Structure 1
Amino acid sequence: MMKPKSTWQWIGLIGGGLIALLVVAFVVLYGIGTARANQHYDISVTVPPIPNDAAAIVRGEHIANSFGICKNCHGEDLGGRLEFDIPGLLTIPTPNLTAGKGGVGAYYTDADWVRAIRHGVGHDGRPLFFMLSQAFNEWSDADVGALIAYLKQIPPVDNELPARNFAALGRVMMGTGMVPPVAVDLIDHTAPPPAAPDPGETAAYGAYLTHTCTECHGTQFNGKPFGPPGEEVPSPNLTPGGELATWSEAQFIQTLRSGVTPRGKALSLDMPWVSYGRMSDEELKAVWLYLQSLPALPQGG
């Protein structure tokens, strides 16, 4: 007769089985994360007219400086920087947009610029991480064309950044969904470009200018969990149901220009207030009107 297994033998069998399951899970999640990081997107684009007149270039520069928040990630000279570098997890640079050494401007075609800005896909067909293309996709042909016109003539900056890389644990995190969805998966790539409302102190124009705000404050502008996994905090509620109900238009504009709220609280550096503060008085008044027109919602997140 077979001797019954001892307690330690059972513990060994169960422990070995659990280890085997963990190994299988690691391999599966690693594979999912690798596929996600390297997925190729074949997206055909329609290139809008790219102007070369001074007025359009000035408009493009204004977009990059202000509500486009390009310089918040790519640097004041748009030469790029190492945005995320976590040893053992991932390395993600924000690209050098100029035509200098290491810059995409040296080889990007007009179609490449459109694909990156509107669709979140790079020159190699891979997804661009932490790129707000789901917001930029809401811009008009005229504004996208003006931005590209500006980017094509900015001074070259020599800045060769490390390649994007996901370590094994980083790929597993991607496989679990801990890394946020990439913009390319959030966009209807067949939708026609929207028309921009006429500039002016109107809620409609304010709505057009706030597409990038939804990334942190949510599509209803009442806040959502923000921050690294496990460290999320609610982003502020921008509807009349939040603190802005006690602000005036002048205080709102002053806050975005100074980075300090009416209560004397400094805005988080995660909030690109320097960029938004470069918007014109007319634009900021339009944004204020739009936010005030929203339903008063409780704090989200």
Structure 2
Amino acid sequence: MMFPKILKWTGIVLLGLTVLLLIVFGIFFYVYGTHVNKQYAVDVRPIAIPHDSASIAAGAHLYAIKGCGDCHGADLGGKVFLNDPAIGLLAGANLTGGQGGRPAGYTDQDWLKALRHGLGTDNKTLKLMPSYESAKLSDKDVAALIAFCKAQPVVNRTLPPMKTGPVGKVLAVLGKLPLFPAEMIDHSYQQPGTVPVAVTKEYGEYLSVSCTGCHNPKFTGGDSPIPGGKKVADITSKGHLGKWTAQEFITALRTGSTPEGLKLENKDMPWSMTAQYSDEELQALFLYLKSL
């Protein structure tokens, strides 16, 4: 008689746990939906977008050092960069005017809305687009980046729609996956017209915004923003960087080889991207990080 009772109570417990899990997931899915469907009313400050070759070349450099190609591809035609049933299917959009790319009538204001506010044409948050970094770009730099993107040849590539899996939704709601960039931006921020390019801490601070996505806004590292990724290093003077020379810093960011003898994997530290920074940019970045 004891064994049937044990089976009965085991079944009740399992059923209770299943119902509880369904309720918890239901709550997460509901909250996820509120984030995705929230509409924003923002004031997109218009700026002139140039068309000259010098601006387009400057934009090409920014596209490279900001890692835009990691998601949108070297040809700006977009690509799938994660396809995991639990986390989701994540893809960078086709930024060209080809089939599957920008819709007809996509304006300079739409570009600015995406880059500075993390919003699509429907005024809802884009997914996973690191607009919280490009939101801080000066007028001159963001205009050059847009000029470069608009000048590229069309690519006919239709990508599958982005989907967020159950684990991805939970991570996003918990703030462990930066899926909602519009929520991470100060939409009233006034960007500078231009930032002087010089080997100064001030210019290094301006460039360092690109490091915050992984190393966090205080640059102290910690958990990776990529699910399952390695711990992220502290890049303040309290970390290894505090013992490096400027040349050792430049070598590490250009080759992935550190003074401690480590060979950094590009998937953990994208040195193939930082290798494209100029000497002046890397020296300025080093000055700022070393001062922290």
Residue 48 (structure 1) aligns with = 47
Choose from 62, 66, 74 the match for 1:76. 74
1:244 counterpart letter in structure 2: L
For 2:288, what is the secondary structure of its paired residue?
helix
Deviation string 1:238-271 (CA, Å, 9 cap, x unpaired) is 1121111232111211222222223442222232
For 2:116, what is the secondary structure of its paired residue?
helix
Deviation string 1:88-139 (CA, Å, 9 cap, x unpaired) is 5411211111222212275521111111111111233332222221111111
Asked if residue 57 in structure 1 is aligned to residue 68 in structure 2, the reply is: no
Q: How far is 1:155 from its partner?
A: 1.7
Q: Distance in 2 between matches of 1:237 and 1:220?
A: 9
Deviation string 1:176-211 (CA, Å, 9 cap, x unpaired) is 555335221011112222344311111111111110
Q: How far is 1:47 from its partner?
A: 2.0
1:180 counterpart letter in structure 2: P
Choose from 263, 267, 278 the match for 1:266. 263
1:61 counterpart letter in structure 2: A
Report the count of equivalent residues: 287
Q: Is contact 2:59-2:145 (8 Å) kept? A: yes
Change (3 A) 1:141 1:21: same
1:41 counterpart letter in structure 2: Y
Deviation string 1:206-235 (CA, Å, 9 cap, x unpaired) is 111110101111212121211544x35431
Change (3 A) 1:175 1:235: closer
For 2:238, what is the secondary structure of its paired residue?
coil
Residue 162 (structure 1) aligns with = 160
2:70 counterpart letter in structure 1: N
Q: Distance in 2 between matches of 1:98 and 1:165?
A: 22
Q: How does 1:1-301 map to 2 (within 5 A)?
A: 15-66=14-65, 68-104=66-102, 107-168=105-166, 170-175=168-173, 177-180=175-178, 182-229=180-227, 231=228, 233-270=230-267, 271-294=269-292
Q: Distance in 2 between matches of 1:198 and 1:167?
A: 43
For 2:26, what is the secondary structure of its paired residue?
helix
Q: Which runs of 5+ in 1 are unaligned?
A: 1-5, 295-301
Q: What TM-score do you get using the length of structure 2 for normalisation?
A: 0.88
Q: Which runs of 5+ in 2 are unaligned?
A: none
Change (3 A) 1:208 1:21: same
Q: Distance in 2 between matches of 1:168 and 1:242?
A: 36
1:142 counterpart letter in structure 2: K
RMSD: 2.4
Instruction: Identify the structure with bigger relative contact order (alpha carbons < 8 Å, sequence gap 6+).
Output: 1
Return the index of the structure with the highest Cα Rg: 1
Deviation string 1:140-187 (CA, Å, 9 cap, x unpaired) is 111111111111111222221101123455445544555335221011
